[in-house]
A and B are shown apart, each in its own frame.
Chain A
Amino acid sequence: MKSKTLPLFVAPALAILLLTPTLSFAASKSDALFPMPENVRHILDQRCVMCHGEVFNGKAEIREDLNLSNEAAIKETLSEAGRLKEVIEKNEMPKKAKLSFRLRKDPKMKERLETIKAEYDKNAEKEVLMAWMKDIVATKTPDKKEKKEKSE
């Protein structure tokens, strides 16, 4: 009897023991982003929050369900830090950002978005963000062109 029941307890216990370091390692990867350095917080506020957290006419812009307005909101809405690193690395954000439909015709918003893109380049802010996420492994999402080439 003992010889049969023991493995039943041992197997899950071993699994937990083996998985715990992996889980804690994964958690620590995201946690490595916090607390946020002052210069990173400044960049997010100036370049990202416009589309990810700022309130316009009573409605918050939470594009792609990502709220970067404060640390608590980031922890709550950032599901994949690797994806965040990827879009910054590939210059998809903020350089390819588009205004949401409700703001798209507003000349002030257009101007603000263009300023964001220009200032981001001018101040080499990408490098600051990449340094902040140095411990994060960027995801690798094939873009349309790569996907097409692979399928051919």
Chain B
Amino acid sequence: MSEEVAKPADEAARRRNKHLTRGIVFGIAAAAIGAAVFQMEKRSEISIVVQGRDLATTKGCFACHGTGDADPRGNLRKTSDGIWKAKAIPTFWENGIDKSDVLVDWITHGVPAEEAENHKRLFIQMPAYETFMTPAEIQFVSAWILSEAIHLTQNATSPDPAATPTLSPEQVRQLKPDELLVMGDHLSRKHGCYQCHGELGQGGRSNPASFKNTIPGFFGRDFRELTNRGDRADVLHWIEEGRGRSIETGPLGFLAKRYLDSQAIPMPAYRDQLTATEKSILTEYLLLLNKKGPLTAVELEQFLKVLTDDSAAKS
């Protein structure tokens, strides 16, 4: 009799245990998937330019070329009279190379074929990096060199373009891409956007205690996620308030708020620092950069041409 009574009780206990075990397994699996997704989401995007910068460091480019004018490097060159004379090793930007294929040629082969004879006179000769880098990596380094070249064109001697004309948001949207590039680039430099978001918004700046430990660039998925897939009003909200509209009101808004409040470098609110036209131009410019994605060496070559030629701005 007692056995008959115990049976349903055991059965119920077994069921409870089964449900509990299932629940625990499901919970662990969900937590593991959640943690994996969270970690994936925390991984920051890296643009071509930033990969190029990192490769230039790890592949030893700076050993011979230095990091810039303030970090010179020496070499020797044999004259036609057979005398060795001191010469500097140029920085990446010294000789004004502005063509991506020329840069790729130099890095790949150590010297372009037409320069080979002159190059043989040098005591320290450039190695051919085709042995040490993939063609894609060489493209990345070229992209970074060109993005720095663009940066170098902007200095105290650069003229301040004529004041930005007053334009309605509709008129701004009708600007030609090159016109928008010139105006957007000028405003981004003037107001310090690139200082944090990287040259031409290609990212690569650290930001402790932010969600991804970096300041996002304008080029990729991070930007789209932060702006509700590139929503114009959301981009404008970021510019004006330095905060995300949709990410802070969404289901994980509490988390977004926590990170935005605790990050070391918060985005300033430019509401009162920019005119309506400037805000419109910057909004469209950021959307243009995002549409282009991570900038390649060829695209940066075109950008350099547009940005150093006033014709686009004048037209």
Q: Which residues from chain A sit less than 8 Å from chain B, CB to CB?
A: 23, 26-27, 29-30, 56-57, 59, 62-65, 76-83, 98-107, 109, 139, 141-144, 147
Contact = CB atoms under 8 A, between A and B. Distances in A.
B217 to A, nearest CB: 22
B308 A105 contact: yes
Interface in B103-146: 112-115, 117-118, 121
Nearest to A78: B79
Given A100-B96, A102-B152, A143-B114, A79 B121 contact: yes
A45 B81 CA distance: 26
Contacts of A98: 96, 98
Contact of A59 (B69, B87, B307): B69
Contacts of A106: 157-159
Given A104-B153, A104-B308, A141-B114, A99 B80 contact: no
A79 B79 contact: yes
Contacts of B159: 105-107
Nearest 9 CB-CB pairings of A with B? A101-B152, A79-B79, A105-B158, A104-B308, A106-B157, A65-B87, A104-B153, A105-B153, A147-B113
17 contacts: A57-B157, A59-B69, A63-B96, A65-B77, A80-B79, A81-B80, A82-B80, A98-B98, A101-B149, A102-B155, A103-B157, A105-B159, A105-B307, A106-B159, A109-B157, A144-B112, A147-B113
Given A56-B157, A57-B157, A63-B96, 15 more contacts: A63-B95, A65-B77, A65-B88, A79-B78, A99-B96, A101-B149, A102-B152, A102-B153, A105-B154, A105-B307, A106-B159, A107-B310, A109-B157, A144-B113, A144-B114
